[in-house]
Amino acid sequence: MSARGVGAVRLGGGMLCIAILGYAYALRIAVGDTSAFDYFGYFTNQTSLLTSIVLLFAGVIGIAGRTAPRGLPGARAIATTCLLVVAVVYNVLVPGTGSAPVWVSAFLHVVFPVAVALDWLLVGDRPALPWQRLWIVLPYPVLWVAVVLFRGVTDGWVPYGFLLLERGLISLAAHVAGLLAALLAAGALVWAASRLTPFPAPSPSSASDRSMSG
């Protein structure tokens, strides 16, 4: 597939995910739950939205035939890492939970993470990531945990039961530590995958040259 074809697929995937997130939010509004802050307080929803934005940006870059900026591979790596954790936690530890329609949950917890992971694994338009940069997968989830815990203290809302303060600090610390360990493990897989030989993507210049000659 050409670089522009890859870009179009990424753009379409990001738009589809945003549309599904919007649909699920509209269902919540219909039953009187209008808080976008609560809806996107869920790690799945927030991460899916942020990943979609990264895909939209990557898609536009690919379609335009431009070279990706330096920070884009790192952003994609973080997004892929977080979605891998979303998929594993939901499908292995807490399957079937949540109030969204089954097909929405299947898309957000299976289809979308798998698609993003395959994009990272197979399309060779990213460099081998330096291992000393593995830590970059942590700031976003740590910030999310901090905001959630602050909300738990101030207004009593947390998205997941394991973050309830009344379960005790030891339980909370163990779950947060487990989450961070899972992120580092998933990040290690993403970093290792960046060193594999995938199907190479054409350079933006060659894609542009073909379109001009055709």
pLDDT at 46 over 70: yes
Other Cβ atoms within 10 Å of 12 Cβ, number: 13
pLDDT at 38 over 90: yes
pLDDT at 202 over 60: no
How many residues in total does the chain contain? 214
Mean of the per-residue pLDDT values of the chain = 89
Distances 42 to 36, 37, 195 between C-alpha atoms, Å: 10, 9, 32
Tokens of 85: 């954790």
Supply the angle between the helices 169-193 and 139-154 in degrees, to the nearest 10.
160
pLDDT at 195 over 50: yes
pLDDT at 43 over 90: yes
- Which of 48, 133, 59, 132 lies closest to 83 in space, CA to CA? 48
Q: pTM for the complete prediction?
A: 0.89
pLDDT at 174 over 50: yes
